[in-house]
Structure 1
Amino acid sequence: MSQDQERSRFQSWRWWQRLGVGCGLWLLVASLTACQSPMSAQGTLVKVEQIANGQAIEISPANNSPGTPERVRLIGIDAPDLAQQPWGPAAKQQLERLIGSKPVLLEPGLESRDRYERTLAYVWLDGKLLNEKLVEAGYALAVPRSPNTKYDQRLKRAQEKARLMGVGIWNPNEPMRLTPAEFRAQNR
């Protein structure tokens, strides 16, 4: 085999190798950013009275009747406690920015209340799952809790993307050292 043939064969092999690496990277990014098949959320449109923290909102009582606002806990996420500086206040501020003064759609889970009697729901705004947006921006952890597992894969992909991008609680220069659950357990 001549040197020209050998060089051509080597260059061809290098081209295929680069193509394989490029395709592998593309597949990784595509799998992390892919969404589940589009579906329209079913639920109730509500007015948000207040953002309690990075994982809970308070909504107007049903039928605008007088009374105390109802607390709603976002399903599938665990945001840092407000005392967990600087991540807790940042998560609350992010949820405030995402919602603003707009009404949100609450999609109930299979289990509708937690042990604190908060309503459990997936929260949607303008077709976007806010539970997922908080995780994707690095303001909360994806925490699956059976039987409410409908969007677990979306939340898991969002967390992996945030971790790889090093955003929010995943920032390598200022990482969150304790999970919210660990922080709460240490500070009871």
Structure 2
Amino acid sequence: MVGLGVVALGLTQCQPAPSIDPGETLAVYGQRVISGDTVEVLPLVGDQPQIQQVRLIGVEVPEWEQEPWGDAAQRWLRGAVEGQTLTLEWDVQRDEAGDDRQWAYVWRGSTLINGAIVTAGHGLAQPQFPNLRHRLILQRSQETARLRAVGLWDPDYPLRETPTEFRQRQQRQSP
């Protein structure tokens, strides 16, 4: 079972990440949480480390407008990574198409934050081919949250629309 370690990050500006092969890791400092699935980090190595935006691989988190779930996910992530020493782990695909963010697994010690936010009921496991290295951990995390009926899985106040469905509906309603 994935631990429920808590961590949070934050930064003010982002620069391209150094070239790292899939499966490699990088020690970083959690600066600031941007959203429930995106953090800003500062590499702990290098002569002139640059702030980087990192999106959690394999996790779909409610938008902040999806109250109360989006705000709860962001608060949870802030408590889990801000001010913490973390490790980024890349998979096959590193960059999101058309975005300055990079995809990574975020570890705090032996806790996979990507899985822990799902276990806590603040996100959904969302496999993102070809980045499937930890998909089984994420799937087990979601099953644990569902069986525990926490967060998005609370039967008294469940999430009725996935973040993807929410964004699609918002786009259809925009003029």
What amino acid sits opposite 1:43 in the alignment?
Answer: T
- Judging by fraction of residues, say which structure has more helix: 1
How far apart are residue 97 of structure 1 and its match?
Answer: 1.1
Q: Per-residue displacement from partner, 1:145-184 (whole Å, max 9, x unpaired)?
A: 1111011011101101111110000000110110010111
Q: Distance between the aligned counterparts of 2:118 and 2:125, measured in 1? A: 6
Q: Distance between the aligned counterparts of 1:64 and 1:187, measured in 2? A: 43
The answer for the alignment partner of 2:154 in structure 1 is 171
What amino acid sits opposite 2:89 in the alignment?
Answer: E
The alignment-based identity, stated in percent, is 35
Residues 2, 112 of structure 2: 8 Å contact kept: no
| 1:186 pairs with one of 163, 169, 175 | 169
How far apart are residue 66 of structure 1 and its match?
Answer: 7.6
Change (3 A) 1:64 1:87: farther
| 2:68 pairs with one of 86, 110, 113 | 86
Greater length-normalized contact order (CA 8 Å, ≥ 6 residues apart): 2
Does 1:99 find its partner at 2:99? no
Q: Distance between the aligned counterparts of 1:117 and 1:111, measured in 2? A: 13
Change (3 A) 1:148 1:45: same
- Name the SS of the counterpart of 1:47 in structure 2: strand
**What's the C-alpha RMSD, in Å, of the aligned pairs?**
2.0
Counterparts of residues 1-188 of structure 1 (less than 5 Å): 33=1, 42-60=24-42, 63=46, 65=48, 69-115=51-97, 116-188=99-171
What amino acid sits opposite 2:165 in the alignment?
Answer: E
Task: State the number of aligned residues.
Answer: 150
Unaligned runs of 5+ in 2: 4-22
Q: Per-residue displacement from partner, 1:106-161 (whole Å, max 9, x unpaired)?
A: 00111010111311100000211000000001000000011110110111011011
Unaligned runs of 5+ in 1: 1-32, 36-40
Change (3 A) 1:34 1:72: closer
Q: TM-score, normalised by structure 2?
A: 0.79
How far apart are residue 34 of structure 1 and its match?
Answer: 8.2
Structure 1 segments (4+ residues) deviating >6 Å: none
